[in-house]
Amino acid sequence: MITVALPSREVADALGDPGPGARVIVWNPAESDAPEDERDRITIACLPHWTGGRRVFGRLAACPGLELIQIASAGYEHAEPFVPPGVALANARGVHDTRVAEMTLLLALASQRRLPAFLDAQRRGVWEPDLEAPSLADSRALIVGYGSIAEAIAVRLRASEVHVEGVARTARTAPDGTVVHAVADLAAILPGFDLVIVVVPHTDATDRLVDARFLAAMRDDALLVNVGRGKVVDTDALVAELASGRLRAALDVTDPEPLPEDHPLWSLPNCIVVPHVAGVERLTNRRYTDVVRRQIEARVRGDEPVNVVVKGAFPA
């Protein structure tokens, strides 16, 4: 019998019966040490959003039978350095695809059709038509980081009659038929796109990937949408381009984050900022509980867990 720790009663209720060979307890390691009578039995620990750090992972390390930590995000750079030896770490790949894709489409449409200016005019009670705002249809979009989230974004963009291509480490044709370019070719291909959408995680390889040279290669009045990680973009270089009026941006993530109240990104008229909410899925929703159930089933069968990003000693 394995024991699965879920961070709240609501998540446990949403999961329901874990099936034969498993039992569920409620424990949030961000709030307390593991219950003494359960510490030796916990096999899988599921963390809530925005959870990490030495204290939390120290509490996890105190569970001798722990085999797998399930985090709630696709990004895992905040958790990877703290994973106890021999314990596997799984991310929530696939859980957030739809929500991130929805926000990406919203940000692109809002910027293309100048929605912030119309909302401002509404607040002022002024009729200010803009008949020159570009349509999303017939534009060309480049998605940097072509994985499952990018595929979900591409579906929605193509429904809006957008031509979509991608970028990854190596050139290929994606399973959905998308032409994917090598990241080494970015400077050469950027001028051919109206929208550049950044979905990559933050790693040593992607740190400040969107730098002054990258931005300079984008065509005039192009839109940069970042739904990946803030540190992938050189903020100072982006502010300089936005202040000149040459480019536009729509950002779900920023560097620094949270964005200080006096930061220039707040006030630039060609920039939309939302507070890192694109991919936050309720842990009581089916997409998350489905991943947890798959982890339970894999452990009961003795199979490898799904979405492993740090390999441990699983299965025991």
For the annotated catalytic residues, the residue numbers are 229, 257, 276
In the three-class reduction of DSSP (H, G, I as helix; E, B as strand; rest coil), residue 245 is classed as coil
Spatial distance between the Cα atoms of 272 and 226, rounded to a whole number of angstroms: 11
Q: How many helices and strands (H and E) does the chain possess?
A: 9, 14
DSSP string, 255-271: SSSSPPTT-GGGT-TTE
In the three-class reduction of DSSP (H, G, I as helix; E, B as strand; rest coil), residue 127 is classed as coil
Spatial distance between the Cα atoms of 15 and 10, rounded to a whole number of angstroms: 9
Of 155, 157, 144, give the one whose Cα is nearest residue 199: 144
Spatial distance between the Cα atoms of 148 and 153, rounded to a whole number of angstroms: 9
In the three-class reduction of DSSP (H, G, I as helix; E, B as strand; rest coil), residue 284 is classed as coil
Retrieve residue 115's tokens. 């929605």
Residue carrying the six token digits 């300089």 = 240
Query: Bridge partners of 25?
Result: 5
Spatial distance between the Cα atoms of 198 and 254, rounded to a whole number of angstroms: 12
CA dihedral defined by 230, 279, 193, 222, rounded to 10 degrees? -60
Of 209, 292, 301, give the one whose Cα is nearest residue 8: 292
Q: Distances in Å between the alpha carbon of 205 and those of 85, 202, 211, 231, 303?
A: 25, 8, 13, 11, 32
Spatial distance between the Cα atoms of 233 and 55, rounded to a whole number of angstroms: 30
Rg (CA), the chain: 22
